[in-house]
Amino acid sequence: MLPKSFRKALCFAGVFTMVIGSLSGCGGKEEAAGGSTASVEEAAEEVTFPLADNYKFSIMTRVASDSEQDFSKKALVQRMEEATNVTAEYKAIPEEQFDDKYKLALSKSDMPDVVTKMYIKPYDILGYAKKGVFIPLEDYIETNMPNLKKVLDARPEVRASITAADGHIYTLPFVNEWSTNSKENINVIGAIPYINVAWLDQLGLSMPTTTDELKTVLEAFAKDIKVENGTVVPMSFRINQVNQDPGISLGAFGCGDNMDHYMVTNDKKVYYTLAQEDARKGLEWLHDLYAEGLVDPEIFSQDGATYSAKVASGRVGLFYDWAIGLAGDYTDQYEALPPLAGPDGTVNVPRQNYYSFDMGVTAVTSACERPSVVCAYLDQYFEPSLSIQNCYGTYDDPNYTNVFTKEGDMLKWTEEGAADGKIRNDQNLYDCFAILSDYYGVYVDRMLDSDALRLEMVSTIYSPSITSDFNYPAAFMEQQDITRISEIETDLKKYAEQVKAEIVKDGITDEAWKGYLDKLNQMGLEELITLKQKGFDLFYELTNYEKAGQSAEASEN
């Protein structure tokens, strides 16, 4: 029997009748992969859970190698089947094989009804839509997915990010929001610099507050610190690597850098960081440290495993990572290094273009015979309590260590569930969910401890020094613009990041810098920024922000 609390969680979207109207763009036969055709629902269909007759649909997903591979054993899947009389037949593909296998599956006539955990970008979404592989979902969202619709109404930026220029929605997102203040969200920055305060104390040094003071500290680390397990590495990172690059520290010289190199001024103008004189100054500061032997010579070549092992050895004075836990047994020796003032007093924390959602997660394919039923089923997981369980795990499951207990309508973390990601992955699905910041204390007792720690760190140490009011949004542009951006970016980004690394290693002359900028322009930088500006303006118009980005005509006038 379905637990009463679970039935209550489903009732918002499941225990009422949903009538499907005419489906714009979805009627008739659609040409699917390989030239075959698949039937897409034409007529209205009433959906009431539980269904009178069982309905099965297939869903392909990815799974970590150390987690439960058989999704039919998961309590969430079993409870949903009991409540809806819909059987979701999961085909779980190991993480390392998933990208190749889902692409292959979508090229065949017997493709799955649903593919989830893809994390694909607009170019690929539109490609599959054009082939008739992904069906439009906006009408299903309006009539079959009240839980998701409520989230999209509350967060217009999410709706804008999943809506293609043709007006259709082809993929369902997930949302994991920690704060409604975009400057406080835990992913507004990526890599955080962590400094060895045990070494500072040992040498009688204060926490550095300027770039010059940091250099003095690194010199002291190199000269006066001795370790038993190798040589001291005053400063280490992985250049151009997500969440391990030192771009945040370059903000002391102006704009700083992030991982896709797009930033936005406070008057809503898009620019490319690696074409800015500010960024050059920061990179030359890193070069000065490198030339004096204060920066790890392996920053250009070390892989993630090598870097992790080095930091965990306790012989690194300053490192960059998403989480302080990279230091392993030495974690207690480190603290976050606050934003530094540059030579002219500049203090700035550059924003990453990360979001509290992913736009290209789940798609319903043209192989699905009853998309209204499938969408109504998936919508159950966008209910707040079920969203939390879909993301993290559940309660009262005799077959696994439980992530939560449940008291009334409140989920409460178990000690084991809060501490162990594998326990969470054994129970969760991590595909369709939306967790808003105001759910904490209402549907779940608290935020996951590691998330709460990072949120506090970001909001108190770094957010006050974020000077930009905007990041570059998840703009869903026209296909020809997306295609052109991809064409330009492929070579331009590779070249810009190569020069970025070369400046840290060898420095750069004025003449060489001018030659570099000239080549960026020859590779299409001006056109690239024009297209990215167009996407930015469209996004902010769609989300109805006050004084949104100007249109092309307004810009010309």
pLDDT digits (tens, 9 = 90+) for 442-468: 999 999 998 999 999 999 999 999 999
Residues of the chain above pLDDT 70, percent: 90
Q: What is the pLDDT of residue 241?
A: 96
Q: What is the mean pLDDT of residues 284-289?
A: 98
Whether residue 40 has pLDDT greater than 60: no
Confidence of residue 356 (pLDDT cuts 50, 70, 90): confident
d(CA 481, CA 42): 32
Kindly compute the dihedral angle of the four CA atoms of residues 388, 392, 394, 400, in this order, to the nearest 10 degrees: 180
Type of residue numbered 5: S
pLDDT tens track for 115-162: 999 999 898 999 999 999 999 999 999 999 999 999 999 999 999 999
Residues of the chain above pLDDT 90, percent: 82
Q: Residue 341: what are its φ and ψ, rounded to 5°?
A: -85, 135
Confidence of residue 556 (pLDDT cuts 50, 70, 90): very low
Q: What is the pLDDT of residue 312?
A: 97
Q: What is the pLDDT of residue 548?
A: 35
Whether residue 355 has pLDDT greater than 90: no
Averaged pLDDT score across all residues of the chain: 90
Q: What is the pLDDT of residue 1?
A: 39
Cβ atoms of residues 84 and 14 within 8 Å: yes
Type of residue numbered 441: G
Taking the CB of residue 125, how many other CB atoms lie within 10 A of it? 24
pTM: 0.85
For the ranges 10-24, 515-529, 541-555, the one whose mean pLDDT is highest: 515-529
Q: What is the mean pLDDT of residues 404-412?
A: 96
Q: What is the pLDDT of residue 165?
A: 87
pLDDT tens track for 56-108: 999 999 999 889 999 999 999 999 999 999 999 999 999 999 999 999 999 99
Q: Which of 258, 226, 228 has its CA nearest to residue 241?
A: 258
pLDDT tens track for 312-354: 999 999 999 999 999 999 999 999 999 999 999 999 999 999 8
Beta strands, E only, 105-168: 114-115
Q: Residue 169: what are its φ and ψ, rounded to 5°?
A: -115, 120
Give the DSSP letter string of 358-413.
EEEEEEEBTT-S-HHHHHHHHHGGGSHHHHHHHHH--SS-TTS--SEEEETTEEEE
Helix (H/G/I), strand (E/B), else coil: 498: helix
Q: What is the mean pLDDT of residues 216-231?
A: 95
Tokens representing 344?
A: 């002219």
Cβ atoms of residues 256 and 282 within 8 Å: yes
Whether residue 5 has pLDDT greater than 60: no
Whether residue 186 has pLDDT greater than 90: no
User: Which residue's entry shows tokens 């400094």?
Assistant: 195
pLDDT tens track for 257-269: 999 999 999 999 9
Whether residue 535 has pLDDT greater than 70: yes
Element spanning 195, H or E: strand 192-196
pLDDT tens track for 100-113: 999 999 999 899 99
Q: What is the mean pLDDT of residues 467-479?
A: 91
107 beta partners: none
Q: What is the mean pLDDT of residues 515-534?
A: 98
Q: What is the pLDDT of residue 544?
A: 59
d(CA 276, CA 251): 12
d(CA 46, CA 20): 7
Q: What is the mean pLDDT of residues 275-299?
A: 98
